[in-house]
Chains A and B, each alone.
Chain A
């Protein structure tokens, strides 16, 4: 076909210019492709880290936190005092009275002892009946109760009573000088009927099994341990773990998600309520919304239905995740996008200027074509076609460059770190008590996935760039008067 032959001959004649234009467009689209692929890789990596938090399971956690009033600072709880009603205060005192260990009850002086007490740390307990109320909130698909407590192991020898100045035997304060080890652990009670809403979900089990699902009676004797805790205690799946007087079989080891809520020890809820002497009490509601779009509304509904409650959504948890992964992702989103856009605009500008220069140089040639009967449209089509062809070449080269760059990133597989500050929250955490967000870091390998739509996007962008340059050049060519072909003679 004549116009194709003419077009390719023209591109070959101005080979340097063609290569420069195509290369400019190629670099532009390669950057767009690489940045897009990298950005996707970062999104994938983030999703990989956050998936356990935001994927299946609960959308939010509801609790009744113990906290100072607004305006309170340090040890001053503020004008309103601690935000507890009198009944709640009494309840708290009652629940935590168990922590006041009377040495007299542990045995005779000199006897070894081992006991565990459960303390309500940052979250007040409430009756299980509240669960029904939570399920009634509009948009709630499901809710499960949970109980998180701080367990305090005490192990040692019953001290000798110390006579007081007046011959009285002093009370338990003397135990401070005794040979007693304290070991705190965060314990959580799990509703085995709602595995997805539990503190620890089956998906988080890295060794062994989850609780015997839906069978609380069997599950009562089972325990799941956090990996770090199991390692510290030197306990493995299949072994038995003593908590107070009770013996439990370790059925599984779990790795809680980064930024998620974690305890050291997970027991069946009823069993924990029993051993902690908090029958019928829970202190956490795990709630799932009908759809992820409703989470905000549901959270607001729950906050309204439960005054004083604290609702933490999975997305809020996800925002706690930081580290190089998040920095890189932010960088790719902002700087990378700007860079790609600037490169693309630059490439189109260069292509346009080169096309305009080419049209100016070809005044006589294009005028001659008009003189021998080519219409304006046909000349515009020819010039645009040449630029478009350059765009196609640039697009293919650019897509290849972009894919290659992405492949290099994937092959190198740089690792990025997602990290979370240790859980902030209630005052008890200062002592390491209570369940909290999982701190630490997780390494993720970065890839830069490329697929056909991305390649097509790259080629399409270059073609669009070529088209813009071609149309501008073509319009300039259209404005040439055919008489200009003869002008050089006068």
Chain B
């Protein structure tokens, strides 16, 4: 499973000297293909800064960041723009549609920097609008569309260059709950498609709970990653449970990072493992998520 996002020691500092503000202070994060991740945290926790870095809108002041396998630290503006065009689709809280362009033209706008010829762009735009259920509204200006419809247009726009990752910034923040749910459903359906990754930024706990994986930020640091367990406590059972949740969708062996976390957790609960399980795990090399899920199930209180 290849990582769409691979970040190590990610730092973003605004300003310099005594006026310097650290928005992100050393974030490690890996997001794999097909994952749907919710980044949560209070205002000022650094989640929008993280989203900007993940979307190649900004460069880290320190640390390394690879998007779709490409390190962005040394990329020029044009290269970043191409990376955004080809690999990232943005969905914004305020929809950010161009008010003077029709729904179809808004979708087309994202394809303008590509080599796709005009007629093909228009055809694809209509196709995408059809996919989000808005084929009848293609000729309308954003001002004539409801909030939900506008966000659907924005999703269609975000998908127009078939990106590997969708970045959604509070995608339901300006929508009522029913509309928000349908938009979320739409995002989820695309997440499953072709191994597309969806990263949501939200401070809506309910919305975050819908995502299979949650990453919580506070003061510019990851304080919780459901894939790794609760960052606040070192409860090995929770770590294993989180890893196991990933396992439901991933029958492959654990990657190095998860394996390291799993080893620590397993060592901590070693006394609770039966000798048979211990023997089956061996030194844990080659452990798959599915196997880990079974171990976790055994260890669950009452399991």
Tell me the bound Cα distance from A2 to B51 in angstroms: 29
Interface flags for B198-214 (1: CB within 8 Å of A; 0: not) read 00000000000000000
Does A373 lie within 8 Å of B100, measured CB to CB?
no
Interface flags for A373-396 (1: CB within 8 Å of B; 0: not) read 111111000000000000000000
Q: Tell me the B229-250 residues at the A interface (CB within 8 Å).
A: none
**Does B31 sit at the interface, judged by CB under 8 A?**
no
Does A371 lie within 8 Å of B90, measured CB to CB?
yes
Does A374 lie within 8 Å of B113, measured CB to CB?
yes
| A12 proximity list for chain B (CB < 8 A) | 100
Taking a contact as CB atoms closer than 8 A, the residue among A3, A370, A488 that contacts B112 in the complex is: A3
Tell me the bound Cα distance from A368 to B92 in angstroms: 9
**Does B58 sit at the interface, judged by CB under 8 A?**
yes
Give, as a whole number of angstroms, the nearest-CB distance from A179 to chain B: 99
Known contacts A372-B157, A375-B77, A481-B57, A490 near B43 by CB under 8 Å: yes
Give, as a whole number of angstroms, the nearest-CB distance from A9 to chain B: 4
Give, as a whole number of angstroms, the nearest-CB distance from A6 to chain B: 6
Taking a contact as CB atoms closer than 8 A, the residue among A5, A375, A486 that contacts B78 in the complex is: A375
| A373 proximity list for chain B (CB < 8 A) | 81-82, 84-86, 110, 113-114, 161
Does A482 lie within 8 Å of B57, measured CB to CB?
yes
Q: Tell me the B63-110 residues at the A interface (CB within 8 Å).
A: 77-78, 81-82, 84-86, 89-90, 92-94, 96, 98-101, 105, 108-110
| B150 proximity list for chain A (CB < 8 A) | none
Tell me the bound Cα distance from A24 to B100 in angstroms: 24
**Does A489 sit at the interface, judged by CB under 8 A?**
yes
| B90 proximity list for chain A (CB < 8 A) | 368, 371-372
Does A6 lie within 8 Å of B98, measured CB to CB?
yes
Known contacts A2-B108, A3-B112, A374-B112, A483 near B77 by CB under 8 Å: no
Known contacts A368-B98, A373-B85, A376-B77, A485 near B92 by CB under 8 Å: yes
| A376 proximity list for chain B (CB < 8 A) | 77-78, 81
Tell me the bound Cα distance from A391 to B272 in angstroms: 80
**Does B169 sit at the interface, judged by CB under 8 A?**
yes
Does A374 lie within 8 Å of B81, measured CB to CB?
yes
| A365 proximity list for chain B (CB < 8 A) | 96, 98-99
**Does A364 sit at the interface, judged by CB under 8 A?**
yes
Does A485 lie within 8 Å of B86, measured CB to CB?
no
Chain A residue nearest in CB terms to B95: A368
| B112 proximity list for chain A (CB < 8 A) | 2-3, 374, 378
Tell me the bound Cα distance from A485 to B90 in angstroms: 11
| B94 proximity list for chain A (CB < 8 A) | 364, 488-489
Known contacts A372-B157, A373-B84, A374-B113, A486 near B105 by CB under 8 Å: no
Does B96 lie within 8 Å of A483, measured CB to CB?
no
Give, as a whole number of angstroms, the nearest-CB distance from B207 to chain A: 14
Does B78 lie within 8 Å of A489, measured CB to CB?
no
Tell me the bound Cα distance from A13 to B142 in angstroms: 13
Does B43 lie within 8 Å of A372, measured CB to CB?
no
| B58 proximity list for chain A (CB < 8 A) | 481-483
Does B57 lie within 8 Å of A372, measured CB to CB?
no
| A1 proximity list for chain B (CB < 8 A) | 118
| B92 proximity list for chain A (CB < 8 A) | 368, 485-486, 489
Known contacts A2-B118, A12-B100, A372 near B84 by CB under 8 Å: yes
Chain A residue nearest in CB terms to B163: A373
| B22 proximity list for chain A (CB < 8 A) | none
Q: Tell me the B40-62 residues at the A interface (CB within 8 Å).
A: 43-44, 48-49, 51-52, 55, 57-58
| B89 proximity list for chain A (CB < 8 A) | 372
Tell me the bound Cα distance from A5 to B118 in angstroms: 12
**Does A341 sit at the interface, judged by CB under 8 A?**
no
| B43 proximity list for chain A (CB < 8 A) | 490
Tell me the bound Cα distance from A5 to B121 in angstroms: 14
**Does A241 sit at the interface, judged by CB under 8 A?**
no
Tell me the bound Cα distance from A489 to B55 in angstroms: 15
Does B96 lie within 8 Å of A364, measured CB to CB?
yes
Chain B residue nearest in CB terms to A488: B94
What DSSP secondary structure best describes chain A's contact surface? helix
Give, as a whole number of angstroms, the nearest-CB distance from A483 to chain B: 4
Tell me the bound Cα distance from A10 to B99 in angstroms: 9
Does B105 lie within 8 Å of A6, measured CB to CB?
yes
| A487 proximity list for chain B (CB < 8 A) | 48
Q: Most chain-B CB neighbours within 10 Å: which of A1, A364, A373, A487?
A: A373
**Does B170 sit at the interface, judged by CB under 8 A?**
yes
Tell me the bound Cα distance from A482 to B58 in angstroms: 8
**Does A369 sit at the interface, judged by CB under 8 A?**
yes
Tell me the bound Cα distance from A3 to B100 in angstroms: 12
Tell me the bound Cα distance from A34 to B219 in angstroms: 66
Does A489 lie within 8 Å of B48, measured CB to CB?
yes
Does A10 lie within 8 Å of B57, measured CB to CB?
no
Taking a contact as CB atoms closer than 8 A, the residue among B51, B78, B99, B108 that contacts A13 in the complex is: B99
Tell me the bound Cα distance from A440 to B94 in angstroms: 79
Tell me the bound Cα distance from A13 to B48 in angstroms: 31
Known contacts A2-B105, A486-B169, A371 near B57 by CB under 8 Å: yes
Tell me the bound Cα distance from A365 to B109 in angstroms: 12
Q: Tell me the B110-135 residues at the A interface (CB within 8 Å).
A: 110, 112-114, 118, 121
Q: Tell me the B142-170 residues at the A interface (CB within 8 Å).
A: 157-158, 161, 169-170
| B57 proximity list for chain A (CB < 8 A) | 370-371, 481-483, 485-486
Does B52 lie within 8 Å of A483, measured CB to CB?
yes
Known contacts A481-B58, A490-B44, A2 near B109 by CB under 8 Å: yes
Tell me the bound Cα distance from A374 to B93 in angstroms: 20
Give, as a whole number of angstroms, the nearest-CB distance from A210 to chain B: 74
Chain B residue nearest in CB terms to A377: B78
Does B84 lie within 8 Å of A10, measured CB to CB?
no
Tell me the bound Cα distance from A481 to B57 in angstroms: 8
| B113 proximity list for chain A (CB < 8 A) | 373-375, 378
| B98 proximity list for chain A (CB < 8 A) | 6, 365, 368-369
| B173 proximity list for chain A (CB < 8 A) | 489
Taking a contact as CB atoms closer than 8 A, the residue among B51, B108, B109, B169 that contacts A369 in the complex is: B109
Taking a contact as CB atoms closer than 8 A, the residue among B48, B96, B105 that contacts A368 in the complex is: B96
Tell me the bound Cα distance from A331 to B49 in angstroms: 63
Please report B residues at the A interface, Cβ cutoff 8 Å.
43-44, 48-49, 51-52, 55, 57-58, 77-78, 81-82, 84-86, 89-90, 92-94, 96, 98-101, 105, 108-110, 112-114, 118, 121, 157-158, 161, 169-170, 173
- 14 A-B pairs with C-beta separation under 8 A: A6-B100, A6-B101, A12-B100, A368-B98, A370-B84, A371-B90, A373-B114, A373-B161, A377-B78, A485-B57, A489-B92, A489-B169, A490-B43, A490-B48
**12 more A-B contacts (CB under 8 A) besides A364-B96, A368-B92, A373-B114?**
A1-B118, A2-B118, A9-B101, A10-B100, A12-B100, A371-B57, A372-B158, A373-B110, A375-B81, A376-B78, A488-B94, A489-B169
8 cross-chain pairs, A with B, having the tightest CB-CB distances, nearest first? A373-B85, A9-B100, A368-B96, A372-B110, A483-B57, A375-B81, A483-B52, A490-B48
